[in-house]
Amino acid sequence: MKRIITVTVLNQSGVLNRVTGLLMKRQFNIESITVGHSEQPQISKMTFVVHVEDKQKLEQLLKQLQKQVDVLKVNDITEKQIVVRELALVKVLSPPTLRAEINSIVEPFRAATIDTGKNVVTFQVTGSPEKIDAFIDLLKPYGIKDLTRTGVTAFVRETQIVNSPQLSILH
């Protein structure tokens, strides 16, 4: 099962290496990683997507991450109400005769054209990983010349919905 784990850390040299080293040592495959500054310049946030089948192994990982020097907070946010985004740049073979057709496919995804050449167009698309996958799948028949993805970044929504047998309560 894919898990989305956020780690809040002090923005210091070597922190990323120590955290990813721990994941590597425990044989977790990192499917996606993003790291960036937070609202406080001395603090960074990391978002990992890892595949974990064993709940006990996951709990052990979370505890070991929390013990790391410079780690302030660790959360598995997979089962919470979250905002998840990814960005992809996709360079597609697009001769002038097919541009209108390709643009009609791209439009519903709200992708932006960020570069145009004689026979190639580069699109930027943001959204959930599933949206990015669907976008790429639709463009594959035209010929994807190059592709890069940022990886997932995510955080917990302010309002969480709690399901009860009788009603849902916003809090």
- pLDDT bracket for residue 1 (50, 70, 90): confident
Question: Does residue 7 have a pLDDT over 70?
Answer: yes
pLDDT score for 150? 95
- pLDDT bracket for residue 104 (50, 70, 90): very high
**When comparing pLDDT for 110 and 161, which is higher?**
110
**Residues 112, 1: Cα–Cα separation, whole Å:** 32
Percentage of the chain lying above the pLDDT 90 cut: 84
Residue positions counted in the chain = 171
Mean pLDDT of 42-54: 94
pLDDT score for 161? 66
Mean pLDDT of 98-121: 96
Question: Does residue 118 have a pLDDT over 60?
Answer: yes
Domains of the chain and CATH, by start: 2-76 (3.30.70.260), 83-154 (3.30.70.1150)
- Would you tell me how many other CB atoms lie within 10 Å of the CB of residue 141? 8
Q: Picking from 31-45, 65-79, 86-100, 150-164, which range would have the lowest pLDDT averaged per residue?
A: 150-164
Residues 6+ apart with CB under 8 A from 47: 4, 5, 6, 7, 32, 33, 34, 35, 151, 152, 153, 154
One-letter identity of residue 79: E
**Residues 17, 111: Cα–Cα separation, whole Å:** 34
Question: Does residue 165 have a pLDDT over 90?
Answer: no
What's the predicted TM-score (pTM) here? 0.82
In this predicted model, what pLDDT tens digit does every residue of 56-87 receive, in sequence order? 999 999 999 999 999 999 999 999 999 999 99
Summary mean pLDDT of the chain: 91
Strand pairing class (161-163; 168-170): antiparallel
Please give the C-alpha separations between residue 131 and each of 110, 120, 165, in angstroms, as whole numbers.
11, 22, 32
One-letter identity of residue 100: A
Please give the C-alpha separations between residue 133 and each of 36, 37, 118, 138, in angstroms, as whole numbers.
24, 27, 26, 9
**Residues 62, 74: Cα–Cα separation, whole Å:** 7
CA torsion angle for 106, 143, 136, 104 (degrees, to 10)? 10
